């Protein structure tokens, strides 16, 4: 029987602020799971700490709500131990790019086959609106005592440099588009990153839904707002690497696209490269039985508790008499 | 003199092959049926600073270090200066003939605190040696023989014989020359040394043949030119199957047979050796069994930091995998938040914790035993944990397995405390017995167990243990959170839920305290009647046992209570043992007598005597013996601080 949207819902009350972009992200995740018909028990959603982090409790799948900034290592551990799991990591701009920045970069080196969603709203919502690592220099969102004294970082550029092999951006209020991007991320063979622009109606009064929608910029010809967001795929941009020769030019093209912000913000896939071997493949080269018998599936003892691992060869190497 | 007791030391700059010389020496002695205990000391440095390996050889099993050296085998001038006073009367010193003219106070690697101490010693002795040669002439007066060996001349001969023009390519072999001289002097059966060289250099025939040539040249040189050392190291016949290994290897072996299938680590001394050994052996052999498996393996993951290391291990443990991480003090400091998460989420993760000199970076390559309180209390809030501590290398092996059993039975983090002395010491043991190993996975469910039922990961139970299901099991889901949570694993801030859930978790510790037998938690040594009881934990075990034995021969009977499970502490047992004790003595490697404090906290019993040490070196049996003897003779102060070690 086909899985329906209700199969991915839990009875837990969703306690985000009214109008929060997280609702759109939650819907997009659930819709992507329906479209891909992934059984809930095959999916594990990991989150850090912050508003985003409650998401796993609202999805009927394995949900692991971890520590501030540490969601990637937890997820990597589970995925390495059980590569059959479909692992989705949700993190925030503070969680993933501030306190968890070291893990964000180093996970890129490994190209583990999982999908990372960054809820990016420019603020630390749950602690009442402090500036996050993505808030631009000089901006003063509602609860900041002074304008932001730090420059905002560029997650797309960092992800490229770190080695993510699928990098995309979505928008929390364009749920259909976001769902499609998430599906592509899940289907990607390797480490996928999706940065999701997400208005925070409570604390970010600058990058609002209206701002993204361009309601301050009315086209005199049509009388309609000119949205700041545009879709990469509608411009003929193709970030997919098809051959080794394309790797560098497409990397550079993505890096160029990553610089766009302000009046023109691209969403869609910046870069995708499946030529890079996944971590699972790298392990399998060293341990041929890895995929057939990963750590979580290995028996370690018989029914009586006798170990089935033999260390005799190693003991033999250490043997000095007898 | 013919003897089966011998203490040898190799000393030289780091990078000069001290370790491999010691490894060859130890193995060669083992091959001859002797028991070996080796202590490794090194600086936090790659090349150039002083390091040494102190090896004790005996026909009986030895578990500790002593304060003296029979034969000091040096590769450089500094090693002579550093260890000259440790050589026992009747002993010998091998040194490089070219080092004789080296002016002692011009040796650039000797640090100021050492020089100040050394000058003081010279003043006390009323001597003024200028050079290494002068110094050796002084010790000759104490009946110490000195052997200046022309390493370079011997090396040149080797070079000529093998047609090697560049002598610099061979200087690494000074260690083998020194070995050859050592074995020549004690007239030890050379075939065992050759066998050790072949084993150590494995599949490199050219290296083996060159080293054998050097060995023979030096061995013959010693016999022909150096005269009689007056000491013959005899071999012993044995049929016993023995292994020779260091603590980190014992832990790794325990982890593998115990079913560990994922290990994370961030490079740190002295823990990293264990993970590297695991990685070298990542593809596992399986025994013939009814259990079908298409191959065994362990994933060893070098993470970006220790925060990632513990959390990655926890992520793997959630899937039903036996997972561990190994670290030292600074790394564990970074792990504490993750430890709390694992406690709150009832994750059976194992942390192998190699203590070293602390706080902060402390003494990165030196011994310490000052992290007991930290292991017991690390992380905010209250959650159950089990803390084990091994007292010797064999215990490291069996405890590594038990750590997983406890972790899974009580679904909580287990900290396995080891220390640098155990990590880096080498020792010969009777072959470990894999037949003694039992794997206990606790209440670990499978898909079939919960089919058609609602599954609550944190279900309330009498024991506090909620039957566990691996993340990824079909047709079911559950949640985890670092927040307080309900039985399903969803966030809950309700006061009643909080009260019950925290109490449920803590109850597991009471269950563990009731269920785990006392035999697994303490070792008790000594005669039935005794006039003193020693309490200790960790690596002092070997020194205490040997000191006790010596004192027993002098008529002092003592008990020794070695605490192996530090949390939950077997407090009734300890209280009972101490209430009867006439003198209560604690022996531990820290300043504040941490175990004594914990025992007092939990039993109300205060120790009478404290034998403590924190100079970065393990306790030797000699100094523990001296301290205990003073106590038994009623001559000791309440607190004795041990200081042996170079």
Give the closest of B322, B432, B474 to A315, CB-based: B432
pLDDT-based confidence at B202, cuts 50/70/90? confident
What is the third-level CATH fold of B523-642?
Answer: Rossmann fold (3.40.50)
Contact B443, B465 (CB under 8 A): yes
C-alpha span between A175 and A320 (Å, rounded) = 67
A58-70 mean pLDDT: 98
CA distances for A242 relative to A187, A246, A247, A258, A272, angstroms: 16, 7, 8, 20, 9
Q: Is the pLDDT of residue B607 over 70?
A: yes
CATH 3.40.50.970 maps onto chain B at 245-287+295-436
Nearest to B472 among A82, A289, A315 (CB): A82
Closest alpha carbon within chain A to B440: A305
Which of B257, B283, B337 is the closest to A307 by Cβ?
B257
Say whether residue B59 is in contact with chain A using an 8 A CB cutoff: no
Q: Do B311 and A314 touch (CB under 8 A)?
A: no
Binned at pLDDT 50, 70 and 90, residue B487 comes out as very high
Is B573 in the A-facing interface, judged by CB distances under 8 Å?
A: no
Q: Helices B306-318 and A71-81 sit at what angle, rounded to 10 degrees?
A: 50
* pLDDT at residue B203 is higher than 90: no
Q: Do B483 and A70 touch (CB under 8 A)?
A: no
pTM (two decimals): 0.98
- Give per-residue pLDDT as tens, A226-259: 999 999 999 999 999 999 999 999 999 999 999 9
Handedness of CA A244, A246, A252, A254 (dihedral sign): negative
- Written as six digits, the tokens of B363 are 């003494």
Q: Is the peptide bond before B359 cis (omega within 30 degrees of 0)?
A: yes
- For chain A, domain boundaries: 5-282
CB-nearest partner of A77 from B307, B314, B441: B314
Pairing assessment for the beta strands B565-567 and B532-536 based on DSSP bridges? unpaired
Q: Do B320 and A296 touch (CB under 8 A)?
A: yes
No. of H helices and E strands in chain B? 21, 26
pLDDT in tens, B285-330: 999 888 888 889 999 999 999 999 999 999 999 999 999 999 999 9
Say if residues B638 and B610 touch (Cβ distance below 8 Å): yes
Q: How far is CA B243 from CA A318, B30, B35, B253, B626, in A?
A: 5, 9, 10, 12, 31
A65 contact residues in B (CB cutoff 8 A): 479-483, 491
Shortest Cα distance, chain B CAs vs residue A204, angstroms: 26
Average pLDDT over residues B200-216: 93
Using the Cβ of B249 and the Cβ atoms of chain A, whether some distance falls under 8 Å is answered with yes
Q: Chain A partners of B283 at a C-beta cutoff of 8 Å?
A: 286-287, 289
Residue in A78, A283, A286 closest to B318 by CB: A78
**Tokens of residue B317, six digits:** 């443990």
- Cα of B265 to nearest chain A Cα, Å: 12
DSSP code of residue A95: I
**pLDDT for res B165:** 84
In tens, the pLDDT along B289-299 reads 888 888 899 99
Q: What is the pLDDT of residue A181?
A: 98
Whether residue B473 lies within 8 A of chain A, CB to CB, comes out as yes
Question: Residue B543 in contact with residue B621, Cβ under 8 Å?
Answer: yes
Chain B, nearest residue to A306 by Cα: B438
Per the CB < 8 Å rule, is A314 touching B253?
Answer: yes
Can you give the pLDDT at residue B1? 65
Distance from CA of A1 to the nearest CA of B (A): 14
pLDDT of res. B4: 75
The strands making up B609-613's β-sheet, listed across from edge to edge, are: B522-526, B558-563, B532-536, B584-588, B609-613, B639-642
The model's pLDDT over A289-314, given as tens digits with 9 standing for 90+, comes to: 999 999 999 999 999 999 999 999 99
Q: What does the alpha-carbon distance between residue B51 and residue B365 come to, in Å, rounded to a whole number? A: 11
| A67-82 mean pLDDT | 98
CA of B196 vs chain A CAs: smallest distance (Å): 9
Supply the pLDDT for residue B289. Answer: 80
CA B263 – CA B278 distance, rounded (Å): 8
**What is the band of B123 on the pLDDT scale with cuts at 50, 70, 90?**
very high
Residues of each domain in chain B carrying CATH 3.40.920.10 = 2-233
CATH code for residues B245-287+295-436: 3.40.50.970
Pairing of strands B2-3, A43-47: unpaired
* Spatial CA neighbour of B75 closest among B149, B183, B185, B153: B149
Assess: ipTM above 0.90: yes
Q: What is the DSSP letter of B523?
A: E
Residue A264 DSSP one-character state: -
Please give the pLDDT value at position A29: 98
Q: Is B292's Cβ below 8 Å from some Cβ in A? A: yes
B308 to chain A: closest CA residue: A73
pLDDT digits over B40-66, tens only?
A: 999 999 999 999 999 999 999 999 999
What's the sign of the alpha-carbon dihedral B328, B332, B335, B341? positive
CB-closest option in B294, B301, B437 to A307: B437
User: pLDDT band at B528, cuts 50/70/90?
Assistant: confident
What 3-state class would DSSP assign to B202? coil
**Angle at CA B434, nearest 5°, toward B431 and B437?**
135
Omega before A203 within 30 of 0, i.e. cis:
no
pLDDT of residue B527: 80
B131, B133, B134, B140 alpha-carbon torsion, rounded to 10°: 150
Chain-chain contact of A60 with B477 (C-beta, under 8 angstroms): yes
Interface test mutation site (partner A, options B263, B308, B331, max chain A beta carbons within 10 A): B308
CB-CB neighbors (< 8 A) of A301 in chain B? 259, 291, 439, 441
pLDDT of residue B27: 97
pLDDT number for residue A1: 82
- Chain B hits for A79, CB-CB cut-off 8 Å, are 315
Contact state of A62 with B305 under an 8 Å Cβ cutoff: no
Between chains, do B261 and A290 touch, taking CB under 8 Å as contact? no
Report the gap between the CA of B214 and the closest CA in chain A (Å): 23
Burial of A130 (0-12, 13-18, 19+ CB in 10 A): middle
Mean pLDDT of chain B: 96
Residue B371's nearest CA partner among B383, B358, B387, B380 is: B358
Q: Which residues of B touch A33 (CB under 8 A)?
A: none
Q: Write down the pLDDT at residue A196.
A: 98
Distance from CA of B625 to the nearest CA of A (A): 31
Cβ-nearest to B311 among A54, A77, A85: A77
Strands (E), B420-555: 426-430, 479-481, 522-526, 532-536
B312 and A CB contact within 8 Å: yes
In this predicted structure, the answer to whether residue A166 has a pLDDT above a threshold of 90 is: yes
**CA of A295 vs chain B CAs: smallest distance (Å):** 5
pLDDT at A270 over 90: yes
Distance from CA of B292 to the nearest CA of A (A): 8
What is the rounded average pLDDT of the residues B477-496? 98
Name the nearest CA neighbour of B273 among B426, B386, B405, B432: B426
* pLDDT tens sequence across B231-286: 899 999 999 999 999 999 999 999 999 999 999 999 999 999 999 999 999 999 99
Q: Which helix (H) or strand (E) holds A240?
A: strand A240-241
Distances, alpha carbon B471 to alpha carbons A46, A75, B161, in Å: 12, 12, 65
For residue B290, the chain A residues in CB contact (below 8 A) are: 302
Reported CATH class of domain A5-282 = alpha beta
Give per-residue pLDDT as tens, B416-467. Answer: 999 999 999 999 999 999 899 999 999 999 999 999 899 999 999 999 999 9
- Give the minimum alpha-carbon distance from A150 to chain B in angstroms, rounded to a whole number: 25
Nearest residue on chain B to A80, alpha-carbon basis? B316
Beta-carbon separation of A78 and B431 below 8 A: no
Report d(CA A74, CA B288) in Å as an integer: 34
Q: Please report the pLDDT score of residue B293 as a whole number.
A: 81
| Among the partner residues B259, B309, B338, nearest to A307 by beta-carbon distance | B259
Residues 325-384 of B with CB under 8 A from A: 337-338, 341
CATH architecture of B2-233: 3-Layer(aba) Sandwich (3.40)
CB-nearest partner of A64 from B282, B480, B491: B480
- Is the minimum CB–CB distance between B462 and chain A shorter than 8 Å? no
Q: Least CB-CB distance to B282: which of A78, A286, A308?
A: A286
């Amino acid at each position: 029987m086909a899985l329906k949207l209700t199969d991915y819902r839990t009875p837990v009350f969703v306690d985000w602020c009214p109008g929060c972009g997280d609702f759109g992200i939650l819907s997009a995740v659930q819709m992507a799971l329906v479209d891909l018909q992934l059984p809930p028990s095959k999916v594990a959603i990991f989150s850090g700490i912050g508003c985003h982090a409650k998401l796993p409790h609202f999805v009927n799948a394995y949900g692991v709500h971890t520590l501030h900034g540490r969601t990637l290592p937890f997820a990597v551990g589970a995925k390495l131990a059980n590569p059959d799991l479909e692992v989705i990591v949700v993190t925030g701009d503070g969680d993933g790019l501030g306190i968890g920045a070291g893990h964000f970069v180093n996970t890129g080196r490994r190209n583990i086959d999982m999908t990372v969603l960054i809820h990016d709203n420019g603020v630390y919502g749950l602690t009442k609106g402090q500036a996050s690592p993505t808030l631009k220099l000089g901006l003063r969102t509602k609860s900041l005592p002074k304008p932001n004294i730090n420059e905002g970082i560029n997650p797309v550029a960092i992800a490229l440099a770190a080695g993510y092999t699928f990098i995309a951006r979505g928008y929390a209020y364009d749920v259909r588009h976001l769902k499609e991007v998430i599906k592509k991320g899940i289907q990607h063979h390797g480490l996928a990153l999706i940065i999701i622009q997400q208005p925070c109606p409570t604390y970010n009064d600058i990058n609002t839904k209206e701002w993204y929608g361009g309601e301050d910029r009315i086209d005199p010809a049509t009388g309609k707002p000119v949205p700041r967001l545009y879709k990469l795929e509608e411009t003929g941009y193709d970030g997919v690497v098809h051959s080794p020769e394309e790797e560098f030019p497409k990397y550079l093209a993505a890096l160029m696209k990553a610089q766009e912000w302000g009046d023109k913000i691209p969403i869609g896939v910046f870069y995708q490269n499946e030529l890079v071997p996944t971590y699972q493949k790298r392990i399998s080269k060293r341990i041929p039985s890895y995929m057939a018998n990963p750590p979580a599936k290995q028996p370690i003892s018989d029914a009586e508790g006798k170990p089935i691992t033999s260390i005799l060869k190693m003991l033999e190497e250490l043997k000095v008499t007898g | 003199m013919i003897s089966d007791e011998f203490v040898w030391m190799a000393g030289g700059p780091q990078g000069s092959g001290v370790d491999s010389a010691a490894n060859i020496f130890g193995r060669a002695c083992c091959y001859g049926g002797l028991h070996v205990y080796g202590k490794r000391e090194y600086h936090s440095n790659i090349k150039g600073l002083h390091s040494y390996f102190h090896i004790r050889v005996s026909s009986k099993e030895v578990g500790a270090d002593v304060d003296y050296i029979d034969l000091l085998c040096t590769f450089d001038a500094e090693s002579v200066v550093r260890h000259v006073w440790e050589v026992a009367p009747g002993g010998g010193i091998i040194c490089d003939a070219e080092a004789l003219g080296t002016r002692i106070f011009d040796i650039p690697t000797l640090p100021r605190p050492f020089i100040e101490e050394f000058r003081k010693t010279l003043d006390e002795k009323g001597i003024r040696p200028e050079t290494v040669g002068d110094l050796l002439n002084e010790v000759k007066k104490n009946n110490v023989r000195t052997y200046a060996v022309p390493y370079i001349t011997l090396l040149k001969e080797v070079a000529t014989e093998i047609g090697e023009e560049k002598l610099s390519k061979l200087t690494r072999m000074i260690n083998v020359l020194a070995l050859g001289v050592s074995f020549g002097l004690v007239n030890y059966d050379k075939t065992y040394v050759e066998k050790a060289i072949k084993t150590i250099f494995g599949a490199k025939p050219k290296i083996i043949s060159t080293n054998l040539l050097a060995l023979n040249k030096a061995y013959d040189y010693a016999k022909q030119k150096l005269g009689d050392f007056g000491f013959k190291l005899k071999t012993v016949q044995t049929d016993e199957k023995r292994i020779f290994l260091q603590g980190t290897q014992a832990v790794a072996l325990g982890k593998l047979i115990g079913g560990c299938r994922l290990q994370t680590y961030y490079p740190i001394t002295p823990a990293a050796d264990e993970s590297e050994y695991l990685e070298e052996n990542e593809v596992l052999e399986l025994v013939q069994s009814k259990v079908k498996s298409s191959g065994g393996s362990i994933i060893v993951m070098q993470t970006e930091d220790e925060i990632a290391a513990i959390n990655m291990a926890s992520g793997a443990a959630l899937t039903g995998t036996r997972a561990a991480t190994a670290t030292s003090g600074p790394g564990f400091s970074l792990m504490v938040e993750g430890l709390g998460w694992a406690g709150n989420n009832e994750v059976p993760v194992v942390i192998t914790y190699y203590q070293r000199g602390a706080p902060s970076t402390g003494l990165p390559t030196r011994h310490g035993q000052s992290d007991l309180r930290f292991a017991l209390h690390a992380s905010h809030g209250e959650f159950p944990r089990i803390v084990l501590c091994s007292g010797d290398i064999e215990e490291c092996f069996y405890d590594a397995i038990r750590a997983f059993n406890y972790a899974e039975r009580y679904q909580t983090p287990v900290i396995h405390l080891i220390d640098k002395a155990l990590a880096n010491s080498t020792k010969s043991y009777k072959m470990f017995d894999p037949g003694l190993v039992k794997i206990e996975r606790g209440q670990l469910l499978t898909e079939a167990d919960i089919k058609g039922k609602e599954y609550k990961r944190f279900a309330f139970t009498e024991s506090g243990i909620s039957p566990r299901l691996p993340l990824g099991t079909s047709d079911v889901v559950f949640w985890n959170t670092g927040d307080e949570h309900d039985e399903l694993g969803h966030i809950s801030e309700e006061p009643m839920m909080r009260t019950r859930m925290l109490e449920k978790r803590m109850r597991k510790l009471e269950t563990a305290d009731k269920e785990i037998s006392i035999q697994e938690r303490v070792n008790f040594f000594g005669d039935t009647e005794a006039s003193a009881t020693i309490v200790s934990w960790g690596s002092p075990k070997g020194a205490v046992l040997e000191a006790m034995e010596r004192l027993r021969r002098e008529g002092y009977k003592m008990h020794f209570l070695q605490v192996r499970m530090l949390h939950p502490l077997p407090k009734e047992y300890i209280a009972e043992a101490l209430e009867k004790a006439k003198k209560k003595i604690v022996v531990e490697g820290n300043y504040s007598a941490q175990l004594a404090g914990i025992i007092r906290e939990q039993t109300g019993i205060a120790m009478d005597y404290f034998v403590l040490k924190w100079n970065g070196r393990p306790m030797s049996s000699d100094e523990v013996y001296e301290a205990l003897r003073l106590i038994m003779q009623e001559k000791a102060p309440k607190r004795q601080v041990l200081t042996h070690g170079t």
